[in-house]
Amino acid sequence: MLPIAPVFLRSKEILQQLSSLLDSERVAFGELNSEAIVSIAAEKSALLDEMNLLNERRVNLLIKFNIIDRKKPLEEDFKTWLLEQDSSMDETRQLMEECETLLTLCKTKNQSNARILTTLQKRNKHLFELLQGHNDKSKVYTSRGATRPISSKHTLGRA
């Protein structure tokens, strides 16, 4: 019997933790809590590192049992093999489906958080430029074709 169910079980646990962290990250973005954001980023990184190790372990197990090709390991080969198995692999099939659902949910949450972060970065950049006395209308082209702001004598920092 293929001992892959524990790998999927741990993957499911990690994905649940990651989903919760992504929710916390969204709240931290809303509160502009930089300490929480940095802490959550470190936790996410640790979870993703463990997830990568689990994936390597899963692929190595599948190669060892000649379920996927060593030179070109494809996920579809494993899925096809799994569908052909009898009811003894029902638990593994169920865990795999739950992991795929959780992974899709995590990707959606992560993309949403990325859009929020991008918006926050643009807003902060605009506010910083305002403090420096720059705006979009007071930019000139350099000799290399880039733009740079024209400094102003009426900045908020000098007021």
Other C-beta atoms lying within 10 Å of the C-beta of residue 18: 21
Domains along the chain? 5-134 (1.20.58.300)
Q: What is the DSSP string of 37-87?
A: HHHHHHHHHHHHHHHHHHHHHHHHHHHHTTSS-SSS--HHHHHHHHHHS-G
pLDDT digits (tens, 9 = 90+) for 43-83: 999 999 999 999 999 999 999 988 888 888 888 888 888 88
Position 56 scores a pLDDT of 94
Position 152 scores a pLDDT of 52
Q: Which pTM was predicted? A: 0.78
pLDDT digits (tens, 9 = 90+) for 7-36: 999 999 999 999 999 999 999 999 999 999
Give the long-range contacts of residues 52-58, CB within 8 A, separation 24 or more.
54/7, 54/10, 54/11, 54/14, 55/11, 57/7, 58/4, 58/7, 58/8, 58/11
> How far apart (Å, rounded) are the C-alpha atoms in residues 94 and 12?
11
